[in-house]
Structure 1
Amino acid sequence: MPRTSYAIAIGSNRRGRHGSPAQEVMAAIRALGGVTAASPIHHTPPLGPSKRRFANAVTLIESNEAPPALLRRLKGIEHAFGRRRGQNWAARVIDLDIVLWSGGSWGEPRLTVPHRLFRQRDFVLAPLVQVAPDWRDPVTGLSMRQLYARLRRKR
């Protein structure tokens, strides 16, 4: 596969072997490889039943991997960091999600790119705008800057 770019959302709200949630996010960025840009860490309130605040960031990476291969690698990193599958919305040491791919859209049962919910998530769009404001959503055609402005207006 030719070299392509991905936007990866990273989040943590539980201490792990690297330290605080922010330190877990920084360690995950180092573990990704091929990083071309990384947003500052944003501290955000939790969604769902978790009571712990999140540390969130978005990084851009370059890779020769197709989306399913990258997803397998991301799940391996999560596992190495101590993430265990289980309850949705629970505290987690690390969460890595493919948000966008320079190849456009990808759809299969286990993976949809762009991420289905990224347009509704301030904790993804705010850091994404910092690293890729002009990247266009292949579904809506809108830039990240435009999507973020729309989300902010809804509040």
Structure 2
Amino acid sequence: MAETSYLIGLGSNRYRGGPPRRIVAAAIDTLVAHDLSIIASSSIVETPPLGPGHRNYANAAILVETRLAPGELLALCKTVEAQFGRRGGKRWGDRSLDLDLLLWSGGCWAGPALTLPHPALAKRKFVLGPLAEIAPDWRHPITGLTIRQHYHHVQRNMPVDRSPNHP
């Protein structure tokens, strides 16, 4: 497989091995150690929890290149999450590390445990902010809007027309 680009979201809000900002930075270093080429990395921002979480999150995004297929990269991300103490089970809870595959240069992709683009991407300000910093002109393969445009919409609580014919 040729080199493929992915946008990955990172988040942490549990103090396991250090503060969440340090966990996010260490996770990026760990991904590099697994032969992912980091092309761009956003700043790390603090955001309130989504759902019943109790602590603020440290969130960031990275643009990577790899020869891994989407399912293979997902497996790697799950392995890295486990290295940082993430346990399966509880949804919407506090997390030591959360890695989400958000977009890839291949457009749309669906497997048993992964859908690209991430189904909630266009609604999540805490994801779109870091993405807009590193890949503002990347187009969402379903809406046709850029990351910058999606971020503009969520900042203003504007609905996004998800039809493929949207300008």
Q: TM-score range by the shorter chain?
A: over 0.9
Indicate the residue corresponding to 2:79 in structure 1. Answer: 76
Q: Which amino acid aligns with 2:61?
A: V
Moved more, 144-153 or 68-77: 144-153
Residue 150 of structure 1 deviates from its aligned partner by 1.2
SS of alignment partner, residue 57 of structure 1: strand
Residue 109 of structure 1 deviates from its aligned partner by 2.4
Residue 99 of structure 1 deviates from its aligned partner by 0.3
Dislocated runs of 4+, deviation >2 Å = none
Indicate the residue corresponding to 1:141 in structure 2. Answer: 144
- Indicate whether 1:110 and 2:119 are aligned: no
- Indicate whether 1:32 and 2:11 are aligned: no
- Note the 1:59-74 alignment, pairs <5 A: 59-74=62-77
Unaligned runs of 5+ in 2: 159-167
Q: Which amino acid aligns with 1:24?
A: I
Indicate the residue corresponding to 2:123 in structure 1. Answer: 120
Residue 114 of structure 1 deviates from its aligned partner by 0.5
Q: TM-score, normalized by length of structure 1?
A: 0.97
Take 1:153 and 1:45, find their aligned partners in 2: how far apart are those partners?
A: 17
- Indicate whether 1:150 and 2:153 are aligned: yes
Q: For this pair of structures, how many residues does the alignment match?
A: 154
Take 2:13 and 2:3, find their aligned partners in 1: how far apart are those partners?
A: 32
SS of alignment partner, residue 156 of structure 2: helix
Unaligned runs of 5+ in 1: none
Residues 71 and 111, structure 2, Cα contact 8 Å, conserved in 1:
no
Provide the alpha-carbon RMSD of the alignment: 0.9
- Indicate whether 1:92 and 2:133 are aligned: no
Question: Percent identity of the aligned residues?
Answer: 50
Q: Which amino acid aligns with 1:26?
A: A
Indicate the residue corresponding to 2:20 in structure 1. Answer: 21
Which whole-Å deviations, capped at 9, do the CAs of 1:93-137 have from their partners, x for residues lacking one? 000000000111101221100000010000000000000000000
SS of alignment partner, residue 149 of structure 1: helix
Residue 153 of structure 1 deviates from its aligned partner by 1.8
Which whole-Å deviations, capped at 9, do the CAs of 1:60-115 have from their partners, x for residues lacking one? 11000000000000000001111001211111100000000011110122110000
Q: Which amino acid aligns with 1:47?
A: L
Q: Which amino acid aligns with 2:47?
A: T
Take 1:109 and 1:32, find their aligned partners in 2: how far apart are those partners?
A: 23
Q: Which amino acid aligns with 2:25?
A: M
Indicate the residue corresponding to 2:6 in structure 1. Answer: 6
Take 1:147 and 1:47, find their aligned partners in 2: how far apart are those partners?
A: 18
Indicate the residue corresponding to 2:163 in structure 1. Answer: none
Indicate the residue corresponding to 2:161 in structure 1. Answer: none
Q: Which amino acid aligns with 2:14?
A: R
